[in-house]
Amino acid sequence: MALTFDFFGDAQLNGVLAELPSVHAVDASNPQDHVVYFGSPDDTRKVLADSNPGVDDIVVSIVDAAVGSGQEAGNVRLALTQADLSTATPGASLALGAQVLGGAANAVEIWARIDPETTAVSQSTELKLQCNTLRERQV
């Protein structure tokens, strides 16, 4: 059975994201902040790390589908709040805790700051978010 949990572009969990929002900088010297949501529209479900359910953290990592072109995963900072982006380590993964409950009200905000690789105006769509192997259960 496919997981109902995924990354969404809106807090109501309507639009699944295939990649991090495109970077299109008018002034590429400034970082671009984006918020995405991790959750499931089904409030009868929860998700846990498959490795040790209920103990190990759900971990979000940045994946670069085209290393060497566009932005690099090492240029992305992840945090649970926009304020924490300034102290987040570029390229590091983000722990969400041992479980996430379903339903839009329980969706986890994930903030991503993409520090520009270049000062040229660009658009980049090869960066994706990925979790460790997960197990979904009824609440």
Q: Which residues pair with 8 in a beta bridge?
A: 16, 37
Regarding beta strands 59-64 and 99-101, do their DSSP bridges make them parallel or antiparallel, or are they unpaired?
Answer: unpaired
Q: What percent of the chain has pLDDT over 70?
A: 86
Q: What is the pLDDT of residues 100-135, one digit of tens each?
A: 999 999 999 999 998 876 555 666 678 899 999 999
> Average pLDDT for residues 16-25, to the nearest whole number?
74
CATH number given to 6-138: 2.60.40
What is the pLDDT of the chain when averaged over all its residues?
A: 89
What are 68-86's pLDDT values in tens digits? Answer: 777 788 989 999 999 999 9
Spatial separation of the C-alpha atoms in residues 3 and 136, rounded to whole Å: 6
List 128's β-bridge partners, or say none. Answer: 63
The answer, as to whether pTM is greater than 0.85, is yes
**Domain boundaries defined on the chain:** 6-138
DSSP state of 21: P
